Amino acid sequence: MRVFEGFKFSKLQTPIHTMDPRAKFAMIMVVFVISLLFTNVLILIIILLAQIPLIWLGRSIRRWGGSMKGGLFLAGLIFFMNLLTGSTFTYSLAMTIRFLALLSSFSIFFMTTSPDDLGLALEQAHVPYSLCFTFTTAVRLVPTMAVDAQTVIDAQRSRGLELDRGNLLKRIRNYIPILIPLIVSAIRRSIELAEALESRAFGLTSKRQPLIVLRMRKSDYFVTLVSVLLLCLAVWASLYAQLPSIEIPFELPRLW
């Protein structure tokens, strides 16, 4: 559950929050691409650490920490999979760091961008309105579903359901009394929402003029420019520069 906290939007007034989502997206995409360009563990660590000031500016360190902790399981999986398929320790570490860097960048994006603004950005990019709306509604429903899930868990525990007992098979089966009401609840909510939308002429015309319009400010253009420059620098560096690297001489004892 904790890992989801790292993707949940919370309304705050920070420079990252007020950044135009398109500029933010450009920035995140650049981080994404740069992470993929390098397999050098030192560079990847820098890329991960470089995001921390951004997270700090967005006042989301604690929740980011939660998502990092939540991602540790997958990170560990990636590390060991790489190691077991013959990669070096350093390379495996690099891949793990890359995963965490990617996770971080998406985490920052979703924590600081409201679903509404995301929808607006998509709409202004001429994505069909119904698709934009579907996307933002799905994002918006996540916290609501989380509350519903907790209520269902409470209701079933009050009838004697014990989630932390039993063997693995039993524990998985114990989630059925939670999943089914949750799904039914989600369906009911969707139907009620659909009724409300229909009743407010959803889909009447495709020529919508949204009340609120996203406008890129000078700072947004600046951020986009800097991101693009960094991208160019990174591409050049990956191709031509001699980068410092380290090799950790650690070997798994041969098991076979």
Partner 1 sequence: MITVENVRYVYPNGNEVLHGVNLHLDDGDFVAIMGENGAGKTTLVKTFNGLLKPTDGRVLIDDVETRRSSVAALARSVGLVFQNPDHQLFCETVGDEVAYSLRNFGYPLDVIERRVRGILETLDLMPYIDSSPFMLSGGERKRVALASVLVWNPKHIVLDEPTIGQDYQQKDRLRNFIVQLNTQRKTVVVVTHDVEFVAECRPRVVLLSRGKIIADGKAEEILSDSTLTERASLLRPQISLLFSSVTGLPHDVIDVFSAKAVINNAIGGRK
Partner 2 sequence: MAIIDIRNLSFSYAGATGPSLSNINLEVEKGEFVVVTGPSGCGKTTLCRCLNGLVPNFYTGELTGEISVCGLDIRRQPTSVLSRHVGLVFQNPENQLFSLTVERDIAFGPENLGLTREETKERVEWALKATGIEDLKDRAPYELSGGQQQRAALASVLAMKPEVMVLDEPTSFLDPRSSLEILGVVAKLNKELGMTVVLVEHRLDLATRHSDRIVVLDKGVVALDGPPRNVYGKQAHLIGIGVPKVTLLFHLLKQDGVKIGKIPVTVEEAEEELRRILAD
List residues near partner 1 by CB under 8 A: 148, 151-152, 154-162, 176-177, 180-181, 184-185, 188
175: three-class secondary structure by DSSP:
coil
Query: Is the distance from CB of 121 to CB of 216 less than 8 angstroms?
Result: no
Please give the Cα distance from 216 to 124 (Å, whole number): 12
Contacts with partner 2 in 203-222 (CB under 8 A)?
A: 203-205, 207-213
The item of partner 2, partner 1, none sharing an interface with residue 193, based on CB under 5 to 8 Å by kind, is partner 2
Please state at what angle helix 61-84 crosses helix 89-112, rounded to 10 degrees. Answer: 150
The item of partner 2, partner 1, none sharing an interface with residue 176, based on CB under 5 to 8 Å by kind, is partner 1
CB of 88 to partner 1, least distance (A): 42
**Overall residue count recorded for the chain in this entry:** 256
CB of 192 to partner 2, least distance (A): 4
Query: Rule CB under 8 A: is residue 172 a binding residue for partner 2?
Result: no
Query: Rule CB under 8 A: is residue 187 a binding residue for partner 2?
Result: no
Query: Rule CB under 8 A: is residue 200 a binding residue for partner 2?
Result: yes
CA distances from 68 to 6, 27, 61, 104, 105 (A): 8, 20, 10, 8, 11
Return the closest-CA partner of residue 35 out of 48, 25, 23, 26.
48
8: three-class secondary structure by DSSP:
coil
Please give the Cα distance from 240 to 227 (Å, whole number): 20
Among 183, 196, 243, 248, binds partner 2 (CB under 8 A): 196
Binding mask 97-136 for partner 2 (x = CB under 8 A): -----------------xxx--------------------
Contacts with partner 2 in 1-40 (CB under 8 A)?
A: 11
> Where do contacts with partner 2 occur on this chain (CB under 8 A)?
11, 114-116, 137, 140, 143-144, 189, 192-196, 198-205, 207-213
